[in-house]
């Protein structure tokens, strides 16, 4: 039989969890009755075994009640009586006296978010169990010792800033209950666990330029270069001038080392010794120019329609595709949009004429303080300070975005810049 060294030591704040562990251990080894029943067997032949097991359970309690509790509850008259020691412990730690209830409630108020959501939920469950153990009722004011809405708001106040958007949504629920918060946080924990369990994800080149039109039958085929390869038979340009040939990785790396752009109205995307060159990663594709995707791989917002831009500046920039090829961005500026509540938004974006649609950079929005709030099985909102900036739907593994343009004209100087 295990000697019980793995049982937790009883402290002033862990009685509920400690009690469950000790009860389970004694049940596992057929000793639980010695905690709850002090009566000796009537059969004299069984007395010796009864005394031996009684001492064994007493020894288990000695190991895990701690020195302070041993001095407080173990006396000469109960030194070998596990039932008497158990009764003394439960009577003290589960007492519904005002003093004990106050101690347990103060311990609940000290709840804090330490390392992870899973740890926070386990700690929350333990403290709620302690409230129940001392007879504190959480519910509506006329029937409860503690108003549940106040307790629920206190729990939310302990969550870190990464849960800001979720907290704003939960604060609006009435009545706000502990069960609602537990269910919401438990869902977040399961989602995080499922995400971390995905070991490998297949990566494919996704961003594609618009497909060239099929040539009419009978039209002569001239030598052409293919993506990543220069055809020597072509006569219109040299290998060094070939835009279809994949750029050497060393050059791409050098380009990415240039200074990143700032958010000022006058700044360029980036500058370097060789001129205005910027290699940007973009990992989503669209088919229609009216389609807009939220892309976690795009470093900048990108629009193909020049008419959407304000404060437009011509600027030659290379966009590196996921397959190693490039597209050209010919300008930059601001695109004016409206959030779900009508508030104006300014997006600093690149103009990429050959991009088949629109890409909204998830990374840029996230860096500006936007958070993802799930609204359905396949839908979510991007929220900033309580304002819904845009809504998205996951279709075929990609995020389609709904955008609302602001009518042409001067934009409010208070417009949010993203």
Q: Do the domain assignments include residue 82?
A: yes
Domain co-membership, 22 together with 142: no
Q: Could you give the number of structural domains in the chain? A: 3
Residues 324 and 405 grouped into a single domain: yes
Task: Say how far residue 16 (Cα) sits from the centre of its chain.
Answer: 30
**Three-class DSSP category at 90:** helix
At 128 the pLDDT is 83
Q: Which of 161, 196, 231 is the last residue of a domain?
A: 196
Question: Taking the mean position of all CA atoms in its chain, how far away is CA 379?
Answer: 16
Q: Which of 93, 127, 154 is the last residue of a domain?
A: 93
pLDDT in tens, 34-43: 999 999 999 9
Q: Nearest-CA neighbor of 124 among 163, 158, 168?
A: 158
Count CA atoms closer than 13 A to 272's CA, side-chain side: 20
Condensed to tens digits (0 to 9), the pLDDT of residues 174-217 reads: 788 888 888 888 888 887 776 655 544 444 444 444 444 444 54
Question: For residue 121, what pLDDT is reported?
Answer: 86
Of the segments 177-181, 230-234, 352-356, 398-402, which one has the largest average pLDDT value? Answer: 177-181
Note the pLDDT of residue 276: 33
Q: Is the pLDDT of residue 372 over 60?
A: yes
The pLDDT of residue 35 is 94
d(CA 13, CA 103): 9
Q: How far apart are CA 271 and CA 261, in angstroms?
A: 8
Statement to judge: residues 171 and 303 lie in one domain: no
Percent of the chain with pLDDT over 70: 72
Last residue of a domain, one of 178, 196, 214: 196
The whole-number average pLDDT for the span 134-153 is 79
What is the b/e burial string over 193-215, where b = at least 16 CB atoms within 10 angstroms of the residue's CB? eeeeeeeeeeeeebbbbeeeeee
Whether residue 253 has pLDDT greater than 50: no
| Among candidate residues 333, 358, 357, 335, the one with its CA nearest the CA of residue 345 | 335
- Domain containing residue 68: 15-93
Helix orientation angle between 164-171 and 148-157, rounded to the nearest 10 degrees: 170
186 and 152 in a common domain: yes
154 and 61 within one domain: no
CA distance 168 to 159: 12
Look at 58-67, 189-198, 254-263 and tell me which has the smallest mean pLDDT.
Answer: 254-263
Same domain, 25 and 169: no
Q: How far apart are CA 357 and CA 287, in angstroms?
A: 7
Domain for residue 314, yes or no? yes
- With a pLDDT cut of 90, the percent of the chain lying above it is 15
Judgement on whether residues 174 and 281 belong to the same structural domain of the protein: no
Residues 326 and 401 in one domain: yes
Strands 301-303 and 358-361: antiparallel
């Amino acid at each position: 039989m295990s000697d019980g060294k793995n049982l937790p030591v009883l402290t002033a704040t862990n009685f509920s969890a400690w009690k469950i562990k000790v009860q389970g251990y004694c049940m596992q080894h057929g000793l639980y009755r010695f905690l709850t029943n002090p009566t000796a067997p009537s059969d004299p032949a069984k007395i010796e075994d009864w005394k031996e097991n009684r001492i064994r359970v007493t020894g288990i309690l000695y190991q895990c009640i701690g020195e302070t509790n041993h001095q407080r509850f173990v006396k000469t008259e109960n030194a070998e009586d596990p039932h008497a020691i158990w009764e003394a412990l439960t009577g003290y730690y589960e007492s519904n006296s005002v003093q004990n209830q106050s101690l347990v409630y103060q311990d609940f108020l000290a709840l804090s978010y330490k390392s992870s959501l899973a740890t926070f939920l386990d700690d929350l469950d333990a403290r709620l169990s302690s409230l129940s153990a001392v007879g504190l009722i959480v519910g509506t004011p006329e029937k409860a010792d503690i108003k549940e809405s106040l307790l629920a708001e206190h729990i939310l106040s302990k969550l870190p800033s990464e849960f800001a958007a979720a907290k704003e949504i939960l604060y609006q629920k009435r009545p706000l209950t502990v069960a609602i918060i537990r269910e919401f946080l438990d869902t977040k924990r399961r989602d995080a666990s499922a995400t971390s369990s995905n070991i490998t994800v297949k990566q494919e080149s996704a961003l594609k330029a618009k497909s060239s039109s099929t040539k009419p039958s009978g039209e002569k085929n001239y030598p052409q270069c293919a993506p990543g390869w220069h055809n020597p038979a072509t006569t219109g340009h040299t290998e060094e001038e070939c835009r279809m040939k994949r750029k050497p990785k060393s050059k791409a790396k050098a380009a990415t080392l240039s200074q990143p752009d700032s958010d000022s109205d006058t700044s360029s995307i980036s500058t370097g010794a060789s001129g205005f060159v910027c290699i940007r990663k973009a990992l989503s594709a669209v088919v229609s120019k009216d389609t807009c995707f939220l892309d976690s791989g795009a470093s900048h917002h990108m629009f193909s329609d020049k008419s959407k831009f304000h404060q437009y500046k011509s600027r030659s920039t290379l966009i590196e595709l996921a397959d190693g090829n490039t597209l050209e961005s010919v300008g930059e500026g601001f695109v004016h949009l409206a959030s779900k509540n009508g508030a104006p938004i300014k997006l600093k974006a690149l103009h990429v004429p050959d991009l088949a649609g629109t890409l909204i950079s998830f990374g840029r929005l996230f860096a500006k303080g936007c958070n993802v709030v799930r609204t359905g099985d396949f839908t979510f909102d991007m929220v900033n300070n309580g304002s819904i900036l845009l809504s998205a739907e996951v279709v075929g593994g990609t995020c389609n975005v709904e955008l609302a343009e602001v009518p042409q004209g001067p934009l409010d100087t208070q417009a949010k810049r993203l």
